[in-house]
Amino acid sequence: MELSVTDNTRPQASLENLMGHDRQALEEYFQSLGEKPFRATQILKWVHQQSTYNFSEMTNLSKSLRASLSERASFILPEIINDQVSEDGTRKWLLRLEDGNSIETVFIPEAARGTLCVSSQVGCALNCSFCATARQGFNRNLTSAEIIGQLRLANQLLVSPDNDRPITNVVMMGMGEPMLNYDNVVRAMRLMQEDFAYGLSKRRVTLSTSGLLPQMQRLSKECPVSLAVSLHAPDDELRNELVPINRKYPIQELMQACRDYTKGLPHQKITFEYVMLAGVNDSDTQARKLAKVLGNVPCKLNLIPFNSFAGSGYSSSSLTRINHFRDILMQKGIMTVTRKTRGEEIDAACGQLAGKFTDRTSRTKRFQQVTITGDIH
């Protein structure tokens, strides 16, 4: 399938890629060409709802506008280089970007909904000790075109005559820390919510963060989607080790930022994610501590069985332990669910995503040394 489509013969590099332009950006683009702003909604519909990328097929634009757009703009999508389906129906795509880097996107079908897990960066700079993406280091931020391109491609591949809305939810939980690519992520999330594009309500778009406070404050005002926070520990000492950004934004400040996020947004609850690591963060005492920490934040808690990867040095808590941990939290009034692991055999589960790219930090080297000594805690 030809996925990077333009309808002229000039090299693509000289054409502006409009794939990631939200309505406002398109309106400004058309105004700069001396065109009426309503052209923006026409283009959004063609591209994001009709999968039409050739200006020549956009029949409600004048011939001369089609010709001049073909001269200057295009819609470029990542290229699919691998497509895997797991036994439970979870599907993972490896996507190649224009610069040769690759990223992963995962589709998780359920009875009443379909969730797409979208990446925001090539790799991740945050270095959480239990995450496979972190091991690979960081290369660069994705553009808004590359972020929305994941939804565009998945939608195009999944849509069928029996199911015209295969993707009902998007979670920014793939590779990367979305808050460290704030502008591009927000622009892509606006497109997700745009009526003339994907029309997802803000409840159906979730951003997962390890807890960057200034960006959480901005997001609550600028694009208040559902928020998930990767907590993973009930106290600063342990969280500093598992989620190093905690040294900058410790738990009490994070909880205050979470309370602030929910203010003014009726029924908004924060989803806390907590990966269950055997013998590390899964004791009864830690469950009780966690209940206290979460006590006055409107929230629900997701316990995530740890998904292992080579050389991680961790193992998952047993199901019995996870259930017991959950029961303690439930007794203390915290709504707690255990997240079902999906797509594990194709490495599509939480924290297992790892595209192909070169690390641009010195992290990989450091980790190789750590793995050899076997000491990652």
Binding mask 271-290 for ligand SAH (x = CB under 6 A): --x-x---------------
Candidate ranges 130-138, 233-241, 259-267, 329-337; the one touching ligand SAH (CB under 6 A): 130-138
Task: CB nearer to ligand SAH: give 18 or 212.
Answer: 212
Candidate ranges 65-73, 81-89, 256-264, 304-312; the one touching ligand SAH (CB under 6 A): 304-312
Q: Is the dihedral of CA 250, 256, 259, 264 positive or negative?
A: negative
CB of 204 to ligand SAH, least distance (A): 17
Which residue(s) pair with 84 in the sheet? 92
27 binds ligand SAH (CB under 6 A): no
Tokens of 343: 């797509």
Residue of 117, 124, 258, 350 marked active site: 350
Please give the C-alpha separations between residue 51 and each of 61, 83, 298, 332, in angstroms, as whole numbers. 16, 20, 40, 49
Which residue(s) pair with 274 in the sheet? 303
Residue bearing tokens 């989620």: 243
Nearest alpha carbon to residue 303 among 282, 280, 331, 332: 282
Residue of 104, 146, 194, 241 marked active site: 104
Residue bearing tokens 């400040």: 253
Chain center to CA of 372: 31
Active site residue 299: no
Residue bearing tokens 């989803």: 271
Candidate ranges 7-15, 16-24, 129-137, 154-162; the one touching ligand SAH (CB under 6 A): 129-137
Nearest alpha carbon to residue 270 among 216, 324, 318, 333: 216
Query: Distance between CA 88 and CA 341 in Å, rounded?
Result: 10
230 binds ligand SAH (CB under 6 A): yes
Task: CB nearer to ligand SAH: give 18 or 238.
Answer: 238
Task: CB nearer to ligand SAH: give 93 or 306.
Answer: 306
Q: Which of residues 332-351 bind ligand SAH (CB under 6 A)?
A: 350-351
CB of 172 to ligand SAH, least distance (A): 7
Which one of 22, 27, 146, 177 is in contact with ligand SAH (CB under 6 A)?
A: 177
Query: Distance between CA 149 and CA 355 in Å, rounded?
Result: 16
357 binds ligand SAH (CB under 6 A): no
Nearest alpha carbon to residue 123 among 171, 78, 176: 176
SS (H, E, C) 220-268: HHHCCCEEEEECCCCCHHHHHHHCHHHHCCCHHHHHHHHHHHHCCCCCC
Task: CB nearer to ligand SAH: give 155 or 210.
Answer: 210
245 binds ligand SAH (CB under 6 A): no
Closest-by-Cβ residue to ligand SAH is 351
Task: CB nearer to ligand SAH: give 6 or 352.
Answer: 352
188 binds ligand SAH (CB under 6 A): no
Task: CB nearer to ligand SAH: give 69 or 304.
Answer: 304
H or E stretch at 34: none
CB of 342 to ligand SAH, least distance (A): 11
Active site residue 124: no
Nearest alpha carbon to residue 91 among 345, 343, 355, 354: 343
Q: Say whether 337 sits in a helix, a strand or coil.
A: strand
Q: H-type helices in 73-212, by residue range?
A: 132-135, 144-158, 182-193
The single-letter DSSP state of residue 90 is -
130 binds ligand SAH (CB under 6 A): yes
CB of 273 to ligand SAH, least distance (A): 4
Size of the site for ligand SAH (CB under 6 A): 17
70 binds ligand SAH (CB under 6 A): no
| Residues known to be catalytic | 104, 350
Site residues (vs ligand SAH, CB under 6 A): 128, 130-132, 173, 177, 208-210, 230, 273, 275, 304, 306-307, 350-351
